[in-house]
């Protein structure tokens, strides 16, 4: 028997470390693009577990693939080969046109691997032990020490100093500010192709191309964090594909496993040829058969069902509707985003209240950055779900 909501919340707070101020909702099950709480209330899901559940809940073929793998083998360690990891890596290589994959368990671990790759690449050239990495202000790359060190958010960093050294911050979408941070010690530049947590800011084409050119000029590794904007969300399998700017290192997580915890960092030929070697990096769980069966199924289901094309179509529809809201309401300053990664910047109205009101209306949305309402639904939503979201959101606004 399910206990009542208050008891569950009380017991959770009694045992789980309070590092999140959670909404007082206890989610129990999902179906399609809807979630249900323990009281049976239905929510249209425009949060997708923070851009994770790209295929929603119980997408045909997904659960079956996981169940089949459970019946075979969950884990082996990286001391041996396994078929799901081989297949998942091949699919990620093919989708990205890059060269080699290292699977992790999370986004932040993928960032750690990317940072180590950049340092090793440069170390092999000059044996310096003081290499620097350029990161962006208002970025988000994760909570482990390396990823936190490149996360341009003072509040997240302050209590944990000293952080990893040799990080210099530049301004996103300001090429001159990046150029100004380059020294003879620089080994890499890391940025999100579309800043997510920072408030949904897509890179401008001029900026991304400019950063790539700087990397080529100085032989630095360009690390693009695609953890949130990748896997079809921005209307391309990887957001950088829209710009035609290929990174040397790409990080993935979130929707990579569509609910199974898994991440990856992916190297192009140049980075793969001269960086991490046996003994340099490892993980016990990373790339285990279960997680990789999920990744493999996700790539297959994306291809079979034309998910990326679908994102462009529904994304255009969503963008159009959101632009109407911007025109209609003074308290919405602008819309930013690509595909099904959209943000509405509010002014003069706290977005936190709108999130809570939306929940009452049966809609899950989240926030980002400075008073931005973030819409990152499952990629399988239809136009009718956009309409339903707008209906609920509009009622939450008044």
Ligand X SMILES: *Cc1c(COP(=O)(O)O)cnc(C)c1O
359-389 per-residue burial string, b: 16 or more CB within 10 A, e: under 16: bebbbbbbbbbebbbbbbbbbbbeeebbebb
The answer to the question of residue 107 lying near ligand X (CB under 6 A) is yes
Q: Which of 227, 249, 264, 351 binds ligand X (CB under 6 A)?
A: 227
Question: Shortest distance, CB of residue 372 to ligand X, whole angstroms?
Answer: 14
Distance of alpha carbon 257 from alpha carbon 73, whole angstroms: 17
Q: How near is the Cβ of 52 to ligand X at its closest, in Å?
A: 9
Report the distance separating Cα 395 and Cα 361, nearest Å: 7
Query: Least distance from C-beta 273 to ligand X, angstroms?
Result: 26
Cβ neighbours of 112 (radius 10 Å)? 24
Using the minimum distance from each CB to ligand X, give the nearer residue, 101 or 397: 101
Q: Which of 140, 172, 201, 299 touches ligand X (CB under 6 A)?
A: 140
Vertex 267: Cα angle to 262 and 270 (nearest 5): 175
The only residue of 53, 106, 275, 358 in contact with ligand X, by rule CB under 6 A: 106
Neighbours of 230 (CB within 10 A): 31
Under the criterion CB under 6 A, does residue 134 sit at the interface with ligand X?
no
State the minimum distance, in angstroms, from the CB of residue 142 to ligand X: 4
The minimum distance between CB 107 and ligand X, in angstroms, equals: 2
Under the binding rule (CB under 6 A), the answer on residue 192 touching ligand X is yes
**How far apart, in Å, are the Cα atoms of 179 and each of 169, 183, 271?**
11, 9, 22
Closer residue to ligand X in complex, CB, 332/342? 342
Query: Residue 228 interacts with ligand X (CB under 6 A)?
Result: yes
Per CB under 6 A, 104 contacts ligand X = no
Q: Which is nearer to ligand X, 82 or 108 (CB)?
A: 108
102 binds ligand X (CB under 6 A): no
Question: In whole angstroms, how close is the CB of 225 to ligand X at the nearest point?
Answer: 5
Does 338 interact with ligand X (rule: CB under 6 A)? no
Judged by CB under 6 A, the chain residues 253 through 312 that form the site for ligand X are: 253-254
Residue 42, phi then psi, degrees to nearest 5: -95, 140
Contacting residue, 141, 212, 310, 336, with ligand X by CB under 6 A:
141
Q: Is 225 in the site for ligand X (CB under 6 A)?
A: yes
Query: Judged by CB under 6 A, which stretch of 90-98, 139-147, 209-217, 321-329 contacts ligand X?
Result: 139-147
Q: φ and ψ at 172, to 5 degrees?
A: -60, 140
| Closest residue to ligand X using C-beta atoms | 107
Positions that interact with ligand X (CB under 6 A):
106-108, 140-142, 192, 196-197, 225, 227-228, 253-254
């Amino acid at each position: 028997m399910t206990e009542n909501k208050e008891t569950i919340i009380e017991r959770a707070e009694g045992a789980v470390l309070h590092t999140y101020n959670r909404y007082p909702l206890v989610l129990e099950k999902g179906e399609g693009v809807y979630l249900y709480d323990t009281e049976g209330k239905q929510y249209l899901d425009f949060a997708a577990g923070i851009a994770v559940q790209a295929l929603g809940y119980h997408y045909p073929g997904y659960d079956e693939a996981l169940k089949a793998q459970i019946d075979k083998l969950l884990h082996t360690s990286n001391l041996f080969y396994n078929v799901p990891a081989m297949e998942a890596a091949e699919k990620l290589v093919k989708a990205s046109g890059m060269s080699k994959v290292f699977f992790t368990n999370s986004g932040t671990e993928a960032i750690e691997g990317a940072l180590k790759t950049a340092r090793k690449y440069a170390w092999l050239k000059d044996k310096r032990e003081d290499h620097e990495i350029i990161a962006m202000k208002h970025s988000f790359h994760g909570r482990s020490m390396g990823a936190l060190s490149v996360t341009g958010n003072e509040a997240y960093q302050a209590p944990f100093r000293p952080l990893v050294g040799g990080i210099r911050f530049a301004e996103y979408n300001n090429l001159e500010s990046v150029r100004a941070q380059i020294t003879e010690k620089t080994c890499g530049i890391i940025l999100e192709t579309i800043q997510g947590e920072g408030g949904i800011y897509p890179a401008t084409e001029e900026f991304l191309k400019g950063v790539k050119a700087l990397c080529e000029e100085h032989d630095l590794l360009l690390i693009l964090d695609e953890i949130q904007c990748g896997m079809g969300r921005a209307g391309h399998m990887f957001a950088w594909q829209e710009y035609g700017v290929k990174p040397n290192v790409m990080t993935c997580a979130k929707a990579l496993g569509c609910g199974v915890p898994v991440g990856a960092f992916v190297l192009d030929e140049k980075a793969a040829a001269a960086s991490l070697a046996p003994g340099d990096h490892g993980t016990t769980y990373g790339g285990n058969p279960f997680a990789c069966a999920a990744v493999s199924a996700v790539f297959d289901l994306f291809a079979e069902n034309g998910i990326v094309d679908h994102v462009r179509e529904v994304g255009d529809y969503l963008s159009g509707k959101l632009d109407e809201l911007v025109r209609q309401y003074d308290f919405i300053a602008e819309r930013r985003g690509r595909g099904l990664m959209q943000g509405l910047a509010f002014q003069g109205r706290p977005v936190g209240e709108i999130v809570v009101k939306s929940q009452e209306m049966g809609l899950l949305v989240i926030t980002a950055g400075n008073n931005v309402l973030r819409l990152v639904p499952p990629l399988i939503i239809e136009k009718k779900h956009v309409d339903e979201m707008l209906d609920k959101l509009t009622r939450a606004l008044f």
